[in-house]
Each structure stands twice: as C-alpha cells, then as structure tokens.
Amino acid sequence: MDKDKFYIVGNWKSNKTVAEAAAWMQEFTALWKNNQFNTQKLKIIICPADIHLTTLKSLITASQIPLSLGLQDVSAYDIGAYTGELNASMAKDLVEYTLIGHSERRKYFQENEELLNRKYDQAQKSGIKSIFCVQEENQVFPQTAEFIAYEPIWAIGTGKPDTSQNANRVAKILKSKSANKIKVIYGGSVTPENVATYAGESDIDGVLPGGASLKADTFYRLIQNASNT
Ligand code: PGA
C-alpha cells in the first residue's frame, strides 16, 4: 500500500440496539488490544446510527483505539425548529465525517442533488468532512468535496462486488473530474476476503463496507487484511 492512508469506513446503516452497539465496541476493543496494526497507514471510521454516537464516543475515548466516528446522513437545515433532524453543528463534537447521498438515501428518501448540496454545505459549515457518495462515474459531486465514495447500486448488499480494476478505473475518472486532489473510496460487498484487491489499486483510497462492518470480528479481519497489503 503506497497511499498516504487507506480509509476503512464501516457503515452500520439501520442496525443495532444500544446494547448491541456497546457489545460490538467491547469485542472490537478486545481484538484490537491483542493485535496491533500499522495504524499510521489506516484511518478507521464507523458510521453508526445517531443514537449510538455518544456511547461509542465514550467507549472509544476510554479504550484509546484510533477509531473515528461519522454520520450516515446530515440535515440540510441549520439549528432550529426542524423536528426529527440531526444537524451538523449538533454532531460536530462527536464526529469527523458524514456520508452524504448514499444510494439508500437517494432511493428510499428521494434525496436529490439540490438537497444533497444543501447537506454538503451544512457539513462544511460545521467542519465535518463529507464523504459524498456517487453510484456511477458520470454522477456529479460538489467540486470542493475531498472524499467521494463510488458505490454502484448493483454491488451493494448483493455479494457481487465490482472488480477492483473497474473500481480503480472509475476512481481515476472521478479524480480527473475534480480540480482538487480528492480521495475515492469503494463501497459494495467489500469483505475481509476481497479488501486487499481494492487496497492494492493505485487510485482506490479506501473502502466502505456495510454488512462486513456489523460484526466486530469480521470488521477486524477486514482491517487486518487491508493493513497487510
Ligand atoms: P455492503 O454495503 O458492504 O453491505 O454491500 C456497501 C454500501 O452500502 O456502500
């Protein structure tokens, strides 16, 4: 791996009770304490449901494991009378990152480009880094975005990942469309068994595992296999 850092962003989606989230963290901590990775080369981020953020934050602080937290989504609105919304300034002390425009948000919640741009602006204003998700190479993304996730819909949760070669080709195209130096991560059926193929590609800066982040030992193996690349 000759990149500055390889990003591993676990997206828990709409899963886990409070007790299950705490148990995941306990198990992950025990695994981590027995085996050390070359963490200089890795950036590990968990995007849990919002209700788990404070619990995970205190467990991470207590364990001193270099795990960062991210949101799965953020409000397009600022502080105020917006029932049910979690806005970026409320979350900024807990998270470093947020996903924006995940295909499941676009599909089930009808999120369109205009709304996603407003979400992106809210995150920027609060200093939260956006991981802006696109589903194919021709999709637009904010020009100032630093992180793009390429997550083809047909590869999500299907056990049929895109090949690392094609994901790398798309990553190159996305990079060529930005005036800035951006990082591109790949999402779609990433597992401990295939993560090394993505880590070995020149233009893939990380992965976005969903299902493979839900069990602490699977996620741990995924990290281990990425770090050995
Ligand atoms: P999956 O999800 O790893 O479960 O396929 C990936 C994603 O949502 O991008």
- 176 CB-contact burial (10 Å; exposed 0-12 / middle 13-18 / buried 19+): exposed
pLDDT digits 0-9 by tens, 73-117: 999 999 999 999 999 999 999 999 999 999 999 999 999 999 999
The predicted model gives 184-203 an average pLDDT of 98
Ligand 1 pocket check for 162: Cβ under 6 Å: no
Ligand 1 pocket check for 156: Cβ under 6 Å: yes
Q: Mean pLDDT across the chain, nearest whole number? A: 96
Distance 156 CA to ligand 1 centre (A): 4
Distance 191 CA to ligand 1 centre (A): 10
Is there a catalytic annotation at residue 102?
Answer: yes
- Min mean pLDDT across 3-7, 10-14, 70-74 is at 3-7
End-to-end CA distance of the chain: 6
Candidates 52, 104, 111, 151; catalytic one: 151
Dihedral angle, C-alpha 99, 191, 94, 125, nearest 10 °: -20
Ligand 1 pocket check for 210: Cβ under 6 Å: yes
Is pLDDT of 189 > 70? yes
The predicted model gives 51-75 an average pLDDT of 97
Dist CA 206 CA 47 (whole Å): 15
pLDDT digits 0-9 by tens, 139-179: 999 999 999 999 999 999 999 999 999 999 999 999 999 98
Nearest CA to ligand 1 atom 1: 210
Alpha helices in the chain (DSSP H): 18-34, 53-63, 88-91, 103-108, 113-126, 164-176, 195-199, 216-227
Is pLDDT of 38 > 80? no
Ligand 1 pocket check for 151: Cβ under 6 Å: yes
**What's the number of CA atoms in the CB half-sphere (13 Å) around residue 55?**
17
